[in-house]
Amino acid sequence: MRSSTTFLAAAATLLSFAAATPLEARYETCIAPQQWHICGDGWSGCCSVSPCKGPSIASNCPDQGSSGPRPTPTEDESPPATSAKPEVDEGWHEFCKEDDSQCNWNATFYHIKNYDEDYAKNSTVSFFVWNDSENTTELRRDAIGVFQNIPDDAKNCSLYFYNPGQGTYYGVHNSGALDMATLDTGDKEFVDAVGGKANWKSTAELLKDGKETGTLDLNNWGWTLGEKSLTNSAKFACKKEIAIHFTLSAPEEGSVIFDQVRKLGQVNNFVQRAGWVIKYDL
């Protein structure tokens, strides 16, 4: 019997236990179209097809120069050095400057569920939305991303998504089609506008009047294209704090999960930035 764990399975664990360490080899070692695999017989490494065999045939990857199998490093043995690798991911420099002067990656994601109306979890490092509409009941887990400290003189705000050049740090199950809407919290900050706790009940009124700003399909392109930034956002009015409601449109069950990265060293020493970013002109 084959057994393999690719990132999607890892993602499921990550999202249920959001504190799971993101510092895994999958972030830095695999170069698209390869993905990180862990097989039942202990083989682990990057491969563009499933390397998992067993139990009578040892797992292996047919790729030229594939990186597995690799022994689990012991404490006094560092992992084998990988050569010809850029030191840090720089693809995001195409649209954002090093000093973040026209970009804001500092999102807090408030996660809410329509089937557990008191559920309130927020995170600055992980994002997860889900929509299961197979039957008449729509089960949804939405996210509201709040970006703070946009400068007063910012103009032409828009939303981008960025996927770093190596590794797989996000997962999509079935549909990855997201709808984004900006929220009007009036003079208040989002947290005050929802009475200090962001759950399904407290956000309902606010979300009703969301203003659609774009749709973006985060389907599995990230696994094959490497570094890439995507936007399909209209320009919207900038203000000090911007709140965006993310929902997933899914013909059956679908979900999107990823790690938001705002600085080098947050998950490893390759990825400097990842995830949602508000970009603006000055």
Ligand X SMILES: *[C@@H]1O[C@H](CO)[C@@H](O)[C@H](O)[C@H]1NC(C)=O
Q: How far is the CB of 281 from ligand X (least distance, A)?
A: 3
Options 6, 44, 59, 247; binder of ligand X; rule CB under 6 A: 247
Using CA atoms, how far apart are residues 7 and 74, in angstroms rounded to an integer?
A: 23
Residue number of the CB atom closest to ligand X: 281
Q: From edge to edge, which strands make up the β-sheet containing 103-104?
A: 103-104, 275-281, 155-163, 228-230
Could you identify the residue written with the tokens 């900006």? 182
Q: Does 212 bind ligand X (CB under 6 A)?
A: no
Cβ proximity to ligand X, 78 vs 135, nearer residue:
135
The one among 134, 184, 192, 212 contacting ligand X by CB under 6 A:
134
Calculate the alpha carbon distances from 176 to 15, 141, 183, 243 in Å: 16, 13, 22, 21
Can you tell me which of 83, 135, 208, 209 binds ligand X, judged by CB under 6 A? 135
Q: From the CB of 272, what's the least distance to ligand X, in Å? A: 13
- Closest approach, Cβ 224 to ligand X, in A, equals 24
What DSSP assignment string belongs to 76-120?
Answer: TSPPPPP-S--SS--GGGGTS-TT-TTEE--EEEEEEETTEEEEE
Give the separation between CA 106 and CA 170, rounded to whole angstroms.
18
Does the protein bind ligand X through residue 132 (CB under 6 A)?
A: yes
Q: Is residue 97 close enough to count as binding ligand X by CB under 6 A? A: no
Which of 13-21, 64-72, 194-202, 203-211 is the region at the interface with ligand X (rule: CB under 6 A)? Answer: 194-202
In the bound state with ligand X, the residue whose beta carbon lies nearer, of 49 and 212, is 212
Task: Return the residue matching tokens 């022994």.
Answer: 71
Fill in the DSSP letter of residue 236: B
Q: Which is nearer to ligand X, 110 or 270 (CB)?
A: 110
Q: Does 106 bind ligand X (CB under 6 A)?
A: yes
C-alpha span between 34 and 32 (Å, rounded):
5
Nearer to ligand X, 37 or 111 (CB): 111
Q: Is 198 in the site for ligand X (CB under 6 A)?
A: yes
- Rounded to whole angstroms, how far apart are CA atoms 237 and 182? 9
Residue 75, judged by CB atoms within 10 A of its CB (0-12, 13-18, 19+), counts as: exposed
Q: Which stretch binds ligand X (CB under 6 A): 23-31, 40-48, 74-82, 103-111?
A: 103-111
- Residues of the shown chain interacting with ligand X in the complex, contacts defined by CB under 6 A: 100, 104, 106, 110, 120, 122, 131-135, 138, 140, 149, 155-156, 179, 191, 196-198, 247, 249-251, 262, 281
